[in-house]
Amino acid sequence: MISIRNVSKWYGQFQVLTDCSTEIRKGEVVVVCGPSGSGKSTLIKCVNGLEPFQQGDIDVNGTSIANPKTNLPKLRSHVGMVFQHFELFPHMTITDNLTIAQIKVLGRSKEEARAKGLKLLDRVGLKAHADKHPGQLSGGQQQRVAIARALSMDPICMLFDEPTSALDPEMINEVLDVMVELAQEGMTMMCVTHEMGFARKVANRVIFMDQGKIVEDAGKEEFFGTPRSERAQQFLSKIL
Ligand code: ADP
Ligand code: MG
């Protein structure tokens, strides 16, 4: 589903990604972790073409990101992305947040989009909040709306960039529960997260990045067991 091949990227003189390669098969859940500044967000943004890269290529469901002929907005409409800061439209109701892209990008009718949005809102346990604005919801609730919004586009895969790091501790699980459910239903997921409980529960593989490089790409059992790279061990000992 996602094939990252020898991707390197520079910001000016600074090399932010060095020769990154990995594959994520359909239905796989891959957790990406590593120290702050190691390039995790940059890599995940490269996957849906939000950041250009100078070397290598990424295929998403057979479409090359580096190919200048690729219609990136069209591809992005099929790749769900959930950020640390929910990025809901603050001036719109929850329902409008859930329907606008379905209507404008996918050309669905208002009724169809609304039905789909409300179904997904119900699924994340927030049906009663349909007519509120994002500011009236807690951080955990807003993030669940953001996930529902991404799902409303019928994504072929989902990318998460630290979806729980901006949340108060008591709200983390309500978001992780939704992600676990998605994983168990077979969604292909690439998740930047330091929630190792989530990784242990549903990840097929764990990727560890350091200084722009993928230094570990291992099955979950192998990653959490021994042996693993010293840098990953140090990192894990600090966050576990
Ligand atoms: P992570 O998500 O692992 O914390 P990032 O991908 O956000 O790391 O950033 C990796 C490195 O690239 C950091 O050193 C960061 O300062 C740098 N960086 C990120 N965005 C930019 C940018 N737009 N211009 C220059 N440097 C950047
Ligand atoms: Mg980041």
The answer to whether residue 226 scores a pLDDT higher than 80 is: no
Q: Which atom of ligand 1 is nearest to the CA of 34?
A: 3
Residue 109 CA, ligand 2 centroid: distance in Å:
36
CB 168 within 8 A of CB 6: no
Q: What pLDDT does residue 120 have?
A: 97
How many angstroms does the Cα of residue 83 sit away from the middle of ligand 2?
9
Q: What is the pLDDT of residues 144-197, one digit of tens each?
A: 999 999 999 999 999 999 999 999 999 999 999 999 999 999 999 999 999 999
Instruction: Give the pLDDT confidence score for residue 225 in this predicted structure.
Output: 84
Identity at 25, one-letter amino acid code: R
Task: State whether the beta carbon of 13 lies less than 6 angstroms from ligand 1.
Answer: no
Verify whether ligand 1 is closer than 6 Å to residue 42 (CB atom). Answer: yes
Specify the pLDDT at position 227.
61
Residue in the block written with tokens 């859940």: 29
User: For residues 102, 128, 167 and 237, what is the CA-based torsion angle, rounded to 10 degrees?
Assistant: -90
> Does the CB atom of residue 11 touch ligand 1 within 6 A?
yes
* Residue with CA at minimum distance from ligand 1 atom 20: 42
Cα 161 to ligand 1 centroid, rounded to whole Å: 13
Which residue's CA lies nearest to atom 19 of ligand 1? 42
| Residue 52 CB–ligand 1 contact under 6 Å | no
Cis peptide before 227 (omega within 30 of 0): yes
**Which of 10-14, 34-38, 116-120, 228-232 is predicted with the least confidence, judged by mean pLDDT?**
228-232
Q: Name the percent of the chain lying above pLDDT 70.
A: 100
> In terms of pTM, does the model score above 0.90?
yes
Question: Are 97 and 149 in contact, with CB atoms under 8 Å apart?
Answer: yes
The whole-chain average pLDDT of the chain stands at 95
Q: How far apart are the first and last CA of the chain?
A: 30
Cβ–ligand 1 distance for 16 under 6 Å, the answer: yes
Residue-by-residue DSSP string for the chain: -EEEEEEEEEETTEEEEEEEEEEE-TT-EEEEE-STTSSHHHHHHHHTTSS--SEEEEEETTEESS-TTS-HHHHHTTEEEE-SS----TTS-HHHHHHHHHHHTT---HHHHHHHHHHHHHHTT-GGGTTS-GGGS-HHHHHHHHHHHHHTT--SEEEEESTTTTS-HHHHHHHHHHHHHHHHTT--EEEE---HHHHHHH-SEEEEEETTEEEEEEEHHHHHSS---HHHHHHHHHH-
pLDDT digits (tens, 9 = 90+) for 42-95: 999 999 999 999 999 999 999 999 999 999 999 999 999 999 987 899 999 999
- Closest ligand by atom to 161 CA: 2
Average pLDDT over residues 112-131: 97
Q: How far is the CA of 26 from the centre of ligand 2 (A)?
A: 24
What pLDDT does 76 receive? 93
**pLDDT at residue 240, as a whole number:** 72
Q: What is the DSSP string of 161-187?
A: ESTTTTS-HHHHHHHHHHHHHHHHTT-
